[in-house]
């Protein structure tokens, strides 16, 4: 195990991240979030009681904000697998209400991540039955056909579906919503010129033109939840079909990408990166979250291989990721320089609900390591 912090006082190191955070309706007791992670344990789209308990355990162990796994919105083509939970319909919402209440009971904030896959078949369950998919131009990746090209009516219906699920979230007492705009799904299929080949008002040669779909959905959600309810937008440069692509090649393009989203109503950006310590643009140490914050002035969430020695995609191949705690100094230094507001923890929390409490108590040897099979084990790790 490559924990290089033996003998170090991690509780003292991480103390600054225990400051509370507030943005509109989102009031968190500290800066730690659970990252959204799909589990595929919701038969028929209904999160089971074990799912509520799974989220409760992370909140009980000191995670201030729980961002849920991607959950489908109120339209049939939202996801491509039958075990992804849906944020619509009486039974599915009752499953979510249990989770919301359980997390609130532990003092945690609850944020559902609203997900529409666009033209992407499900990588984990490619044979699951699902409604015909839709996408901006019939592509899920540069040379990968996926979904039928969306009509204006499809676009309006999809925006309405996001707004309907957003309204459910507010009514049910959620603290914010997160729109999954990252990793090559519907919003990202519109952002990326390789998958958005439209010549109407939803397409165009520059990134600003290709934000029109996202801006429309955000504005509809804003109408549905009102001014005081926090809307988080997750974005990434990397996509499942291309880890190296850059939608924004420099800060100016980043500004063009973000400005329409802010005008439409985003309060917080969640900048998804595979390794949080990697600089986003040449000649400056800031990561994507740091740049998004600098360019937008909005609070940001950073993420990516915190407490891990391998990144997410390496893990999809094989092997065990062991805890790597020495980069936590860098994380705290970034926070103290004002480069991010919240930090999301993914695999470490999937493997071990008590990760934060254990490392702060110096119980490094007790940590449960993550391996690729962890995600497939149904709530085995609590």
Ligand X SMILES: Cc1cc2nc3c(=O)[nH]c(=O)nc-3n(C[C@H](O)[C@H](O)[C@H](O)COP(=O)(O)O)c2cc1C
The contact set with ligand X (CB under 6 A) reads 35-38, 69-70, 113, 180, 182-183, 234, 272, 303-306, 308, 312, 345-347, 375
Which CB sits closer to ligand X, 99 or 345? 345
Nearer to ligand X by Cβ, of 195 and 305: the residue is 305
Specify the residue, 155 or 306, whose C-beta has the smaller distance to ligand X: 306
User: Where are any strands of DSSP class E within the chain?
Assistant: 21-23, 26-28, 32-34, 65-72, 109-115, 134-135, 139-141, 144-145, 148-149, 176-180, 230-236, 268-272, 300-303, 320-321, 342-345, 370-371
Q: In whole angstroms, give the CA distance from residue 181 to residue 262.
A: 14
Q: CA-to-CA distance for 249 and 254, rounded, in angstroms?
A: 7
* CA–CA gap between residue 206 and residue 218 (Å, rounded): 20
Q: How far is CA 89 from CA 40, 74, 164, 165, 353, in A?
A: 18, 8, 11, 10, 29
**Choice between 148 and 372, CB closer to ligand X:** 372
Minimal distance, residue 29 CB to ligand X, in Å = 20
Q: Smallest distance from the beta carbon of 168 to ligand X, in angstroms?
A: 18
Minimum Å distance from CB 283 to ligand X?
25
* Distances from the Cα of 1 to the Cα of 96, 308, 323, 362, angstroms: 37, 11, 7, 14
Which residues lie below 8 Å from residue 94, measured CB to CB, with a gap of 6+?
46
Q: How far is the CB of 345 from ligand X (least distance, A)?
A: 5
- DSSP labels for 294-318? HHH-S-EEEESSTTBSS-HHHHTTS
Question: What is the C-alpha to C-alpha distance for residues 263 and 148, in angstroms, rounded to an integer?
Answer: 29
Q: How far is the CB of 300 from ligand X (least distance, A)?
A: 14
Residue with Cβ nearer ligand X (180 or 293) = 180
CB closest to ligand X, residue no:
346
163 vs 345, beta carbon nearer ligand X: 345
Q: For the CB of residue 68, give the shortest distance to ligand X in the complex, in Å.
A: 8
Handedness of CA 125, 247, 307, 339 (dihedral sign): negative
Residue 92 C-beta: closest distance to ligand X, Å: 16
From 53, 84, 31, select the one nearest 306 (Cα to Cα): 31
Gap between the Cα atoms of 289 and 204, Å rounded = 26
Q: Which is nearer to ligand X, 300 or 312 (CB)?
A: 312
Which residues, including other chains, have CB under 8 Å from residue 337's CB and lie 6 or more apart? none
CA distance 35 to 20: 18
> How far apart (Å, rounded) are the C-alpha atoms in residues 307 and 185?
27
Residue nearer to ligand X on the CB measure, 135 or 374: 374
* Minimum distance, C-beta of residue 124 to ligand X, in the bound complex (Å): 9
Min CB(234)–ligand X separation in Å: 5
Name the residue with tokens 């099979």: 373
Q: Which is nearer to ligand X, 34 or 248 (CB)?
A: 34
């Amino acid at each position: 195990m490559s924990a290089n912090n033996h003998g170090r006082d991690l509780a003292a190191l991480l103390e600054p991240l225990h400051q509370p955070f507030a943005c509109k309706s989102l009031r968190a007791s500290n800066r730690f979030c659970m990252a959204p992670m799909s589990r595929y344990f919701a038969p028929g789209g209904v999160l089971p009681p074990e799912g509520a308990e799974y989220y409760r355990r992370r909140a009980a162990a000191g995670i201030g904000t729980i961002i849920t796994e991607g959950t489908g919105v109120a339209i049939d083509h939202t996801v491509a697998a039958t075990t992804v939970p849906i944020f619509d319909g009486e039974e599915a919402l009752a499953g979510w209400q249990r989770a919301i209440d359980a997390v609130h009971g532990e003092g945690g904030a609850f944020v559902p991540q609203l997900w529409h896959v666009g033209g992407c078949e499900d990588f984990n369950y490619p044979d699951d039955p699902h409604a015909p998919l839709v996408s901006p131009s019939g592509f899920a990746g540069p040379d990968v056909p996926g979904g039928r090209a969306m009509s204006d009516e499809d676009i309006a219906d999809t925006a309405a579906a996001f707004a309907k699920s957003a309204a459910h979230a507010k009514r049910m007492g959620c603290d914010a919503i997160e729109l999954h705009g990252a990793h090559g799904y519907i919003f990202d299929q519109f952002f990326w010129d390789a998958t958005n080949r439209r010549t109407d008002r939803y397409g165009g040669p520059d990134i600003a033109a290709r934000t029109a779909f996202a801006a429309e959905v955000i504005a509809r959600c804003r109408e549905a939840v009102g001014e005081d309810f926090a809307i988080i937008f997750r974005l990434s440069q990397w996509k499942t079909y291309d880890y190296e692509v850059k939608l924004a090649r420099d800060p100016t393009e980043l500004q063009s990408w973000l400005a329409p989203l802010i005008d439409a109503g985003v309060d917080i950006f969640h900048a998804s990166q595979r390794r949080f310590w990697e600089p986003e643009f040449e000649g400056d140490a800031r990561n994507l979250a740091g740049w998004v914050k600098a360019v937008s002035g909005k609070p940001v969430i950073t993420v990516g291989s915190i407490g891990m020695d391998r990144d997410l995609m390496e893990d999809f191949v094989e092997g065990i990721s062991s805890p790597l705690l020495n980069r936590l100094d860098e994380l705290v230094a970034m926070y103290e320089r004002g480069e991010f507001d919240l930090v999301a923890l993914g695999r470490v929390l999937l493997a071990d609900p008590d990760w934060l409490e254990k490392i702060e108590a110096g119980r490094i040897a007790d940590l449960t390591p993550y391996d690729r099979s962890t995600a497939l084990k149904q709530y085995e790790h609590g």
